[in-house]
Amino acid sequence: MLTYSLETMSTKAQAIATLRQMNIGDKFAHLPMPKAAVLIPLFVREEKLHTLMTLRSTELRTSAGEVCFPGGKRDLSDRDDVETALREAQEEIGLQPDQVEVLCQLTPIINKSGLMVTPVVGFIDEDFSPSPNPAEVSAVFTVPLDLFTQEKNHSQVQGITGLSVPIHSFNYMDPDSDSQYQIWGLTAVLAILVAVCALQKKTEFEVTFEFDNPLHFFEQNLLRRVSKL
């Protein structure tokens, strides 16, 4: 069997190898919770990992005008969390399911509305051109993934995001549109987690999970929350 050191692998190949090891599959699918899923789309630009995010329409009933990943509640027709995430991404930004190389599902997080949200991570093509649905999305933009490991433009306050942790917040100026975005709450937590996993890099600020086993904290928190329901 051929083996490769991380130093000799490309940025994308290294991220794929690392993230696939993080896949929990359907480990928590049996939990009797209302379910949702988000797609965390990654791509490489100039040998750096980036992720794609959306700004929710101000006309929506929940989380209006907030930054998030494509995603939403599971439909009865969805077979699993991956299908939910891909369907929502197609509806919101025109990303077709066959344009996504799904790598892993990470540990679900119960959000402030009581939904069990599963992060689905996948690679998309750098040249993907989104077609946002104006009823749901008012903007689509891309962010360098290492932003979510840096102290610069980062702040945190105490609060509740579905986790017993401080609320992280990042200010980001999109150079393509000169628009300023605040990325915070559950979306920021997921972005931090994926950045740490994909980049194999510690954050410059304190986090509650261990870098050598980041999913353990989220699993314990999930089971603790479920036991109280």
The pair phi, psi for residue 199, each rounded to 5°, is -90, -15
Q: 73: which 2 tokens? A: 């509640």
> How many angstroms separate the CA atoms of 184 and 119, rounded?
16
Confirm whether 2 is domain-assigned.
no
Q: 172: which 2 tokens? A: 């980001």
SS3 of 164, please? coil
Confirm whether 160 is domain-assigned.
yes
Q: At what angle do helices 185-199 and 214-227 cross, to 10 degrees?
A: 140
First to last CA, the chain: 47
Provide the number of structural domains found in the chain.
1
Q: What is the pLDDT along the chain (229 residues), one digit of tens a residue?
A: 333 344 446 899 999 999 999 999 999 999 989 999 999 999 999 899 999 999 998 787 777 789 999 999 999 999 999 999 999 999 999 999 999 999 999 999 999 888 999 999 999 999 999 999 999 999 999 999 999 999 999 999 766 555 556 789 999 999 999 999 999 999 999 999 999 999 999 999 999 899 999 999 999 999 998 888 7
What does the pLDDT read at residue 164?
A: 54
Nearest to 66 by CA among 85, 83, 47, 53: 53
What does the pLDDT read at residue 7?
A: 47
User: What is the span of the domain harbouring residue 94?
Assistant: 7-227
Confirm whether 1 is domain-assigned.
no
SS3 of 27, please? coil
Task: Confirm whether pTM is higher than 0.85.
Answer: yes
Confirm whether 159 is domain-assigned.
yes
- Dihedral of CA 55/60/63/64: which sign? positive
CATH of the domain at 187: 3.90.79.10
> How many angstroms separate the CA atoms of 99 and 200, rounded?
25
Confirm whether 149 is domain-assigned.
yes
SS3 of 198, please? helix
> How many angstroms separate the CA atoms of 208 and 109, rounded?
14
Q: Is the CB of residue 36 less than 8 Å from the CB of residue 116?
A: yes
Q: Count Cβ atoms within 10 A of the Cβ of residue 218 and give its class: 0-12 exposed, 13-18 middle, 19 or more buried.
A: buried
